[in-house]
Amino acid sequence: MKNMLKNLVDWDALYFILENAPVSFEILDKNKTIIYCNKARKKLTGHEESEIIGKKINNFLTPDSKEKFNLFLSNGFKNSSEIQLDVIAKNKQVIPVELSFKTLMDKNEQTAVLITYAYKKASEKRQPFRGNSFNVEALKALTENETKYQTLFEKSNDAIFILIEDLFVDCNEAAQKLFAASKERLLASSVIDFLPKKDGNDETVRMVTEKIKLAFNGEPQSFRLELCRMDKKAIHAEIELSPFSLNNMTFVQAIIHDITEKYTQWLALQKSESIFKGVVNASHEAIIGVNKKGVCFLFNPAAEKMFLRTEKEMLGKSIDCLIPERYKEAHNRAFNDIFKTRNFDRLVNKTYRVDGLRSNGEEFPLEFSFSMVAVKDETFIVSSGRDITDRVKKENALKESEQKFRHLFEDMPDAIFITSLDADSKGLILDANRAAEQQTGYTREELLNMNILSQLCADKNNSQKALAREKEIAANKEIRFVEKKIRKDKTEYWTEVILRIISLNGTDVLISINRDVTDKIIANEKITKLSYAIEKSPIFVIITDPKGTIEYANRQASEITGYRQNELIGRLFRYDEFSVFPKEMFKSLWSTLETEDNWHSEFEMNLKNDKKIFVSATVFPIKNESDEVVNFIGMLEDRTDQRKLREQLSQAQKMETVGRLTGGIAHDFNNLLTVINGYSELASTIKTKDKKVHEYFRAIFRAGERASDLVRQLLAFTRKQSAEIKVVNLNTMIQDLTKMMARLIGKDIQIKTELDPQLPYIKADPVQIEQILINLVVNARDALNENRTGNSERKIIIATKAVSFYHASAKATTDMKNGDYVLFSVSDTGSGMPEDVKDKIFEPFFTTKETGKGTGLGLATVYGIVEQNNGKIEVLSELNKGTQFNIYWPAVDITEDSVELQKETFVPAVGHKHVLIVDDDEEVRALASEMLQALNYQVTEANNGKQALHLLKEASCKPDLIITDLIMPEMDGIEFANKTKQILPDVKFLYASGFAGDRFKTNSKSEIEELFIQKPYTLHALGQKIREVLDSTN
């Protein structure tokens, strides 16, 4: 077969073309046997070459296609005949194809073969320019010179395609690289496939088709065109179409040169030139370019306007016409020297001020800068300049005004700093005036090296504030604020600052004007504090104008008047607006201020909440320099509590007076009662047949006891009573006293008790507790008797309860200290009390009873006892409904067993103890001696301290106990005891007195209880106390 093909064409060239073609080829011999198939054919059906060569074509057709094909052959076919058939692939898949046929003849025209051309899927679009245009003669002609073929396609750097009509029949490796595709894919494409798919493409297709047609007609073509690679990337190419003939066949060689990079550079250059020309023409500065001979090649519109000369007039001409005559020689000399020495650094990056010459002969100042442009081996100078006529005028004007500014700057009383706004030197002081030196303590030289933000401002975070202020200045042109600064001596001061950005010598700077307002700030702080104090003050304060219209009122004024603060402003300070004030006050106020500079008064006010307060009011004027009244200030202070304190002080003074009187007589009176009660008690123990004698002595004793109680009451309400403190159970005492109190109040009044079974113990003098209860029950009885026509239920209730106070809400109405208390109350359903009576009931000698029916000491005594024992008493009363007295008495944390230990039974003296009695009252001394002898004690008497000391110094007088009166002439009992301790340090003492006063002020209450016995005393009480002292270890 190969020999046969060699007769047709040069087999090597043909084989290369057929084998690598992307289209399926088969060649049949005259017996319709397949003698050749290319790679694409084998790939189409999946068969190996051995499975195809030597087989009939019918072997690969479906039954229907076999019948169709046989019919096609029997009818004969012509060149370019086509038929659609179905072929069977190796995997049994049916593939529809379209077959085209062409007859080939060898060189001797003796052997005829049929070549099956372009197997393809029937479903695909037919590739253009395939089949009809291809002929073997073309292949013959193309492959005649294999060396020339290899050089053309393989060694060229440019992409080369071989075309017949517009069909690619071959391409080199450079073409594959340029279009990013395999040779098979390129040869399967047409020229149209490489054109960009975009609007206006039809015109490009027509142009390319026309140029290919011209090339085939023998006219070489050269053009530039944008092409599209297989990966859709656009390229720009120069294309040369050259026709050539082989064996009478015309081919077109297309050489494609990639100029994408060159085209991109050209576009950039075009853009750069356009931009440069636009920039030059748009520049407001005159731009002039000259060569080394001084000939102008660039003269922009700004230069035309500046020099009044046209570009056409200047191009190719010397620039001498732009220079004033007197400068031309120097200019030309310098210009030539620069090019001769090549010392271009003299010009570059420098600005020069020169004079220019306009075409009308006018000279003007210019500012020029220069740059060098090198093109190949030639250097050009391009200069840009600006007309600075206006600036020079301004500079001259600035110089003229600079001295004036300097005088103004230096003479300003405020410190002025000019500081930099540059990012790297922000805040740097550029200048400062004399006032700045005086204000800061630095010299001008020192200030010029300082930064105002970091070295003069006391606020260490000032940089951030400065940045914010700079933005604020830019928006508002000027800002004002107050800030703290620091002097050289480290003292701080306040300044009011004005900041403004100004232009100085063409540079923006910050001018800072600083006024020292330290005194003003301090004054304002004082005013602020004073205003705050007035606003928060408990004193009513208002300020009025001269006519009495309120201009200011503080919070307390609002609370007292009942108006809001804003409602007070604008009101006239008159009675018709403020009825809470007494009408007479306003008359007194304004009439007084007409003639005097001050008005003062104290009076009661009835507030809107019906609360009464006692106030002290003052009004005085504020006058101006002309002694005219501009305002009145009114102040009003609630003195209710002070008034109560004054009343309480008066009450205390009364009680102190009574106390001194009571204390003065108590000692002597109790001495008398001691004798009366003592002897009547001793006499009642003497046996006699006349029973009336015993009754007489008992009556005398009872009268003495009542007299003693009266003295105790007097001492109790003046708080001078010496109490005999014990731990007691209040419930037990109330129960013991109930029967006795029932007899006191009568059978028509019911007495009830409501006692807390868990009631804690208290420390108290039992006699004082009895006094409290009896006084309160008797008062309740009298109140019930006054109200016989009122409440039909006549009863007195005595109640006890354990209470505790440990938080504010619990103590709100009682003002109690923290702790546990026993509350005992006595309430009645009697007549009650009005407020004015209730306020005075604890005053000594105050009574609402008829003359002779009340002493006025009962409730005063109760009050004195309660206060003396750190308790509190409160009164709740309502007219015609009744009264309740609540007494809060401190509770003690003690068990019942501990209380039982206090109950000691009196035991008479054992043996013959020796007692020394020292008392200046002979009768008392004699009575005591009688009592002690009755108790089996050995007794020695002395009438004062001196005599007793004399006796003690004798060896024969060594008493076990000394009973001494506290109040004696020359030497009282305490002094005597101290001197005795020097002689007999172990002797025990018992002090006795009708009134001890403050003799024990240096001793504790427990010591008083252990060492003291109150006169008058009974035989039993004396015996028990002596026993306690003798048995004590102290």
Residues 542 and 580 in one domain: yes
Whole-number pLDDT of residue 610 = 67
pLDDT at position 818 over 90? no
Q: What angle do CA 354, 359, 363 make, to 5 degrees?
A: 35
Residue 276 lies in a domain: no
Q: What is the mean pLDDT of residues 333-360?
A: 82
Query: Cα separation of 643 and 660, whole Å?
Result: 25
Instruction: Please tell me the least confidently modeled range out of 122-126, 701-705, 871-875, 899-903.
Output: 122-126
Structural domain includes residue 545: yes
Do both 774 and 883 map to the same domain? yes
Query: Does residue 136 lie within any of the structural domains?
Result: no
Number of domains in the chain: 8
Q: Is the pLDDT reported for residue 132 higher than 50?
A: no
pLDDT given for residue 465 in this prediction:
64
Domain boundary residue, one of 638, 660, 682: 638
- In sequence order, the β-bridge partners of residue 632 are 544, 621
Q: Which residue has the higher pLDDT, 614 or 650?
A: 614
Weakest mean pLDDT among 55-59, 244-248, 691-695, 1012-1016: 244-248
Among 226-240, 379-393, 433-447, 831-845, the least confident range: 831-845
User: Are 326 and 313 part of one and the same domain?
Assistant: yes
Q: Is 353 inside any structural domain?
A: yes
Among 241-250, 705-714, 774-783, 949-958, the range scoring the smallest mean pLDDT is: 705-714
Q: What is the DSSP string of 904-931?
A: PPP----S--EEEEE-S-HHHHHHHHHH
The whole-angstrom distance between residue 305's C-alpha and the CA centroid of its chain comes to: 63
Q: Could you tell me if 424 and 489 lie in one domain? A: yes
What average pLDDT is seen over the chain? 79
Location of structure tokens 């409160």: 874
- Both 926 and 816 in one domain: the answer is no
Residue in the block written with tokens 């205003």: 531
In the chain, the amino acid numbered 57 is: I
Instruction: Say yes or no: 874 and 740 in one domain.
Output: yes
The 3-state secondary structure of 590-629 reads HHHHCCCCCEEEEEEEECCCCCEEEEEEEEEEEECCCCCE
Q: Are residues 1025 and 909 in the same domain?
A: yes
Same domain flag for 122 and 151: no
Q: What value does the mean pLDDT take over residues 17-22?
A: 62
Give the lowest-confidence range in 187-191, 306-310, 486-490, 934-938: 187-191
Most distant CA pair in the chain, distance: 202
Mean pLDDT on 49-74: 85
Which neighbouring-strand residues pair with 373?
380
How long, in residues, is the chain? 1034
- Where in the sequence is the domain holding 922, given as residue range(s)? 900-1031
**Both 376 and 516 in a single domain?**
no
Residue 342's region, left for phi above 0, alpha for psi from -120 to 50, else beta, is left
CA dist list (Å): 633 to 119, 356, 562, 571: 122, 80, 19, 15
Element containing residue 429 per DSSP (H, E)? strand 429-432
Question: What band does 800 get if pLDDT is binned at 50, 70 and 90?
Answer: very high
> What is the per-residue pLDDT across 530-584, written as a single tens digit (0 to 9) for each?
888 888 888 889 899 988 899 898 888 888 888 888 888 888 887 777 777 787 8
Alpha carbon distances (Å) from 610 to 606, 607, 726: 6, 5, 46
Q: Which two tokens stand for residue 37?
A: 């198939």
* Among candidate residues 98, 126, 154, the one where a domain is terminated: 126
Higher pLDDT, 348 or 916: 916
Q: Are residues 602 and 711 in the same domain?
A: no
The H-assigned helical ranges of 121-246 are: 136-142, 146-154, 173-179, 183-187, 201-216
pLDDT band at 868, cuts 50/70/90? confident
pLDDT of residue 718: 59
* 3-class DSSP assignment, residue 752: strand
- Do 553 and 633 sit in the same domain of this protein? yes
**Least confident piece of the model among 340-344, 425-429, 433-437:** 340-344
Does 485 or 910 have the greater pLDDT score?
485
Q: pLDDT confidence of 64, banded at 50, 70, 90? A: confident
* Paired tokens of 654: 């009364």
Whether 781 has a pLDDT exceeding 80, the answer reads yes
Nearest to 796 by CA among 822, 777, 775: 777
E strands present in 723-812:
726-728, 750-754, 761-764, 795-805
Give the model confidence (pLDDT) of 186-211 as tens digits.
887 777 788 887 655 778 888 888 88
**Domain's final residue, options 521, 550, 569:** 521
CA of 680: how far to CAs of 384, 554, 675, 851, 1019, in Å? Answer: 142, 73, 8, 33, 11
Check whether 292 has a pLDDT greater than 90: no
Question: Does the residue 134 lie in any domain?
Answer: no
Q: What is the sign of the dihedral through the CA atoms of 679, 683, 685 and 691?
A: negative
Contact 958, 914 (CB under 8 A): yes
Mean pLDDT of 733-751: 82
Instruction: State the DSSP string of 272-314.
Output: HHHHHHHHHHH-SSEEEEE-TT-BEEEE-HHHHHHHT--HHHH
Contact 461, 475 (CB under 8 A): no
Phi, then psi, of 825 in degrees rounded to 5: -130, 150
pTM of the model: 0.37
Asked whether residue 907 carries a pLDDT value surpassing 70, the answer given is no
User: CA-CA distance, 774 to 734, in Å (whole number)?
Assistant: 10
CA distance 186 to 352: 66
Where residue 111 falls among pLDDT bands split at 50, 70, 90?
very low
Comparing CA positions, the residue from 904, 868, 855 lying closest to residue 767 is 868
pLDDT higher for 121 or 467? 467
> What pLDDT is attached to residue 798?
94
Indicate whether 920 and 840 sit together in one domain: no
Q: Is residue 236 part of a domain?
A: yes
Three-class DSSP labels, 112-155:
EEEEEEEECECCCCCCCCCCCCCCHHHHHHHCCCHHHHHHHHHC
pLDDT of residue 502: 82
Rounded mean pLDDT, 939-964? 89
In a domain, 269, yes or no: no
The continuous run of DSSP H or E covering 501 comes out as: strand 492-504
CATH of the domain at 855: 3.30.565.10
Task: Report the pLDDT averaged over residues 841-866.
Answer: 72
Residue 152 above 80 pLDDT?
Answer: no
User: What are the φ/ψ torsions at residue 895 (nearest 5 degrees)?
Assistant: -90, 165
Residue 138 resides in a domain? no
The pLDDT of residue 887: 94
The CATH number covering residue 552 comes to 3.30.450.20
Share of the chain above pLDDT 90, in %: 12
Encode pLDDT of 491-509 as tens digits. Answer: 999 999 888 888 877 788 8
Where are any strands of DSSP class E within 668-780? Answer: 726-728, 750-754, 761-764
Q: How far apart are CA 241 and CA 216, in angstroms?
A: 9
Using only C-alpha atoms, the chain has a radius of gyration, in whole angstroms, of 68
* Least confident residue range of 45-54, 107-116, 378-387, 688-697: 107-116
